[in-house]
A and B are shown apart, each in its own frame.
Chain A
Amino acid sequence: MSVKMIRKIIFIFVISLFFQTNNVVADTSGNEELNVSQESDTAQECFEGVSRAMFKFNHALDGAVFEPVAKGYRSLPAGLRKGTGNAVNNLRSLLTLTNNVLQGDFHKAADTAGRFLVNTTVGILGIWDPATALGLEDHGKEDFGQTMGVWGTSSGCYFVLPILGPTTARDAVGLVGNMFLDPVYQVTHNSGMADRSFSEHNYWYYRGTGSVDFRAKNIESFDSVEENSIDLYASLKSLYLQNRNKKILNSKSITETQNDNDWEEIDTN
C-alpha cells in the first residue's frame, strides 16, 4: 500500500470521525431521543483539552489586542463607524448571495443581489443603505457552513480554532469553502483575473475591519457573558451552537430552534 493511499485512508477516517452523526440527545428525563433540529444539544467535543487551551489563548489575545482595538474603533464618530460597517457588510453580501443560490433560496438571492446593486451605486460603495428604504429586505448573512447545514450535513464535533474561535467540523470546512465562494477573495487572490488593482492584503483588511466592527458592537455583551459565567468556555460553546442552529434553520421563531421538551416537565405552581 503506498504512502499516498495510507494518507488518503487516514484523511477519510478523520473526516468521517469529525462528521459522525451525533443526533442522539439525552433530555432532562434521561431518555434518549432522535432529534435533528436541536443541534445545540448534540455537538460533542473533538478534543476538549486542546480546545480549552486554545480558548484561553484566544481569550488572552482578545484582552490584549482585539478588545482595545474595538474600543478605539468605537471612539470614532458614529457616522464613520456606521458607514464602515455598511461598506463591509455590502461586500460581505456577495458571499451571502452565492450561498443563497447554493441553498436554492432564489427569493433571498434576488433581494441580496438587489441590495448589493443599489447600495454599491446609489449608496456609494455601500457606505449608505438606501436599499432598506426601498424595501429590499436584509435577510442576514449566509456562509458555506450554513449551506452545508441546509444540505443536511451534521455539525460534527466542536472545537476552538486559534484566533478564529469556536467552530464545528462542518463550519471549519465551511471556512475553507467561503474563500473559494467569496467573490471578494477571488478578486483579491486570483492572479488570473484581469484587474489586479486589488492585492491580497485588501481581502484581509476587509475581513479584519468586519471583525473589529462586530467586536465593537458587542463589547458590553461579551463583558456581560464573561462576568456572569461560571464556565465561560461552556457558555460560549452553547451560544455559538445555538446561533449556528438558528442561522441554518433560517428561523426567527424560537419554537423551531429551541427544544421545548425539557421545559415541559417542570411544574412549579
Chain B
Amino acid sequence: MKKKIFISIFFIFLFTQKSFAYSSDPKQFITEIVEEVKKILIATNTKEYKTTKLSEIALETVDIKGIAFYSLGKYRKNITDENLKEYLRLFEKYFLKSFTSRLTDYSDPKINVLSTNILNEKYTIVKSVLIGTDKKPEVNIEWRIYTKNPEKPMIRDLIIEGLSLARTQKEEFASVIELNNGDVSKLFDTLKEFISK
C-alpha cells in the first residue's frame, strides 16, 4: 500500500514538473517568463547552465516554427519539402544560439511588464520596460504574442524600441538569398556557419 502511495506521489511529482504550464493570459505569461529568466541569469550560474535553461524556455514559449516561416518571407512559397525540413532544423539551432547568446550577457535584468494591447484574435502585444542602469538607458520591449490557441500563447517577436527583431532577421535572410541570386541553399550554408561558430 505504502509502495503504491509512494509511486503515485512520485508520478504526480514527475507529471507536475514536466508539465509546468505558463499562464494563458498574455501579460501573466510574459511575467512568468521574465521571472524564470531572471532566476537563470543570476551571476553565479555558469554560461552553459544559462544556455541550456534558456533554450528550454524558448522551446516551450517561442513559436520558433512560426518565426522560421516568417523569416523565410516569399522564398518559403517555392521551397521543396526536403529543403523546408532542413531549413526548419537549421533555423531552430540558429534561433536558440542567437536567442541565448543575446541574453546570457545580462545578469539580473529588471523588466517591468506593463500592459497589453489586443490586436486581433491571433495577436496580442505585451508591453514591458527593461529598467535602465547608470550605464544603459531604459529600453521599451514589446512582445508579439500569438494567441490563436488561447490556451497556449506563444512568443513570435520582440520589438525593442519599436524595432522588430523578426523583421530584421527576415530582411537579413532575404539579403543573403538575394546576394546569391535567389539560391536558398546559400542561406543554409550561412546558418550552418553561424551555428558552428
Taking beta carbons and an 8 Å cutoff, which residues of A are in contact with B? 26-30, 40, 74, 78, 82, 217, 220, 224, 227-231, 233-235, 237-239, 242-243, 246, 252-255, 257-258, 260, 262-264, 266-269
Contact = CB atoms under 8 A, between A and B. Distances in A.
Interface string B57-75: 0000001011001100110
16 contacts: A27-B74, A28-B73, A78-B135, A220-B136, A224-B105, A230-B173, A237-B171, A239-B168, A258-B164, A263-B157, A266-B66, A266-B69, A266-B70, A267-B148, A268-B65, A269-B148
Contacts of A28: 70, 73-74, 76-77
Contacts of B125: 254-255
Given A28-B73, A228-B102, A230-B176, A242 B167 contact: yes
Given A74-B135, A242-B163, A268 B69 contact: yes
B175 A269 contact: no
Given A252-B162, A268-B69, A230 B190 contact: yes
Interface string B11-30: 00000000000000000000
Interface string B135-152: 111001010101011001
Given A220-B105, A231-B176, A268-B65, A243 B156 contact: no
A268 B66 contact: yes
A30 B173 CA distance: 16
A183 to B, nearest CB: 26
Contacts of B190: 230-231
Given A228-B102, A230-B190, A239-B168, A263 B159 contact: no
The 8 closest A-B pairs by CB, nearest first: A234-B175, A78-B134, A238-B171, A246-B162, A268-B66, A238-B168, A234-B172, A228-B98
Contacts of B134: 78, 82
A160 B22 CA distance: 45
Contacts of A74: 135
